[in-house]
Amino acid sequence: MIKPIGSDQLVPLFVDNQSERESLLQEANQLPSLLVSSATAANAVMLGGGYFSPLPGYMNRADAINVAETMHTTDGRFFPVPVLNLVPELAEIKGAERIALRDPNVEGNPVIAIQQVKQVNAIEVVSDEQMATMTAKVYRTDDSQHPGVAAFNSQGRHAISGPIEVLNFSYFDTEFANTFRTAVQIRDAIEQLGWERVVAFQTRNPMHLAHEELCHMAMDRLNCDGLVIHMLLGKLKPGDIPADVRDNAIRTMVELYFAENSAIVTGYGFDMLYAGPREAVLHAYFRQNMGASHFIIGRDHAGVGDYYGAFDAQTIFDEEVPAGALEIEIFRADHTAWSKKLNRVVMMNEAPNHSKEDFVLLSGTRVREMLSEGCAPPKEFSRPEVAEILINYYQSL
């Protein structure tokens, strides 16, 4: 199986020993505490699960800026985006060497992690200019209407760095008990299945027929043993379909249209950045950590609006990712759609002598309208069983 990044073994920060974890929770109740942002809590989940291995915790200001500018920490460690604990106020933790981080996404704000802050310069002010630099490098825009830019810049200007001990996985392993898996758990599942060549598919939406066929194409062309459908379970933008509905739709598709033991459906706890190319690199980074040897990246991967070019999330691996930083291989996909001429799903760039009218293409807006009206999209666009699940959801709104 492919090795994790920067180490022979994953370095998950979740405290797996129950008695040790209970002891730390008791300690946490006596520590100064901070209610962190949703992004910081999601970073804790990813650090805890080994997805961000081998990072030991939240970055300091210098590392975050260097990562934004060069995709390396100041000591040369590869990482594609800053991982920060940004807060607006510090009064509650003044003078503390250890602090409890409280989860904003769970009722009662339980402690999600303990952070050590006794090192020199553990708490630093990030200037507006430094925030602007990181924003521009990671998101390629400073537009406050970009959901990722807005979320990043709304957290505060005090960066608290230092190693963390993660005590739970927020709401992900309770609300999505059958789907949420850590990188450690997915590696174990891949090993038990005996897979060596594994392709991962990222989704924050239900999978239509074109997505399904793209996964089959990748598996066949790469001669893969299996597929990991790895869905985002965290915060999305308004209007996106909830994770439980996506989960139901995808599981139904896999059960009916994939060979037995050829695909597993899992999810991870993270808030979508909508950072396009940089987020594509992050997605590849943690897919290697979870054991995938290959990763599908299509048009406008992790994008939003018109902020990124259609294939920027692919070309960044040629133009900006340092040589040797990743072992995982990228399967570069074009838009896939049903060809009326060939009577099957194809990649559009592999279909000569086709015009736009030769494909079955529906906008997201049109699909939502059809589903809201109780009308299933054509079978060339969506499996009927998937359409039924989505119709039930839209009609329940």
Query: Could you read off the pLDDT of 163-214 as tens digits, one per residue?
Result: 999 999 999 999 999 999 999 999 999 999 999 999 999 998 899 999 999 9
Pair 282, 189 in one domain: yes
| Two structure tokens written together for 373 | 């009206």
List of residues 6+ apart from 81 with CB closer than 8 A:
67, 68, 138, 273, 275, 278, 279, 281, 282
Last residue of a domain, one of 143, 170, 197: 170
Pair 262, 318 in one domain: yes
| Two structure tokens written together for 193 | 């299945």
Tokens 């902020």 identify what position?
Answer: 307
Residue 42 belongs to some domain of the structure: yes
Pair 213, 160 in one domain: no
Pair 152, 219 in one domain: no
Residue 7 belongs to some domain of the structure: no
Tell me which residue range forms the domain holding 57: 18-170
pLDDT confidence of residue 364: 86
CATH code at position 99: 3.10.400.10
User: Is the pLDDT assigned to residue 344 strictly greater than 70?
Assistant: yes
Pair 157, 303 in one domain: no
User: Is the pLDDT assigned to residue 338 strictly greater than 80?
Assistant: yes
Average pLDDT estimate for 325-342: 97
Residue 6 belongs to some domain of the structure: no
Structural domains counted in the chain = 2
Which one of the listed residues 21, 77, 157, 205 is annotated catalytic?
205
Last residue of a domain, one of 114, 142, 170: 170
CATH code at position 335: 3.40.50.620
Residue 8 belongs to some domain of the structure: no
Query: Residue 256: pLDDT band by 50, 70, 90 thresholds?
Result: very high
Closest CA to 25 of 98, 113, 93, 150: 113
Pair 132, 224 in one domain: no
Average pLDDT estimate for 19-37: 96
Q: Hey, which residues does 165 pair with through a beta bridge?
A: 114
Instruction: Identify whether 287 is a catalytic site residue.
Output: no
Pair 187, 287 in one domain: yes
pLDDT confidence of residue 91: 84
Percent of the chain at pLDDT > 90 equals: 92
In this structure, the dihedral spanned by the alpha carbons of residues 229, 234, 236 and 241, taken in order and rounded to 10 degrees, is 60
Residue 4 belongs to some domain of the structure: no
Residue type, 87: V
Pair 114, 187 in one domain: no
pLDDT confidence of residue 125: 96
Pair 109, 258 in one domain: no
Helix, strand, coil percentages (3-state) for the chain, rounded to 5, are: 35, 20, 45
* Ramachandran assignment for 95, one of left (phi > 0), alpha (psi -120 to 50 degrees), beta (any other): left
Pair 80, 102 in one domain: yes
Residue 235 belongs to some domain of the structure: yes
User: Is the pLDDT assigned to residue 120 strictly greater than 80?
Assistant: no
Pair 220, 324 in one domain: yes
Pair 283, 352 in one domain: yes
Query: Residue 276: pLDDT band by 50, 70, 90 thresholds?
Result: very high
User: Is the pLDDT assigned to residue 98 strictly greater than 80?
Assistant: yes
pLDDT in tens, 224-248: 999 999 999 987 777 788 888 999 9
Exposure class string for 328-347: b at 16+ Cβ within 10 A, else e = bbbbbbbbbbbbeeeeebbb
pLDDT in tens, 278-314: 999 999 999 999 999 999 999 999 999 999 999 999 9
Residue 129 belongs to some domain of the structure: yes
Instruction: Identify whether 204 is a catalytic site residue.
Output: yes
Last residue of a domain, one of 148, 170, 192: 170
Which one of the listed residues 21, 77, 197, 204 is annotated catalytic?
204
Residue 81 belongs to some domain of the structure: yes
Give dist(CA 5, CA 80) in Å, integer. 12
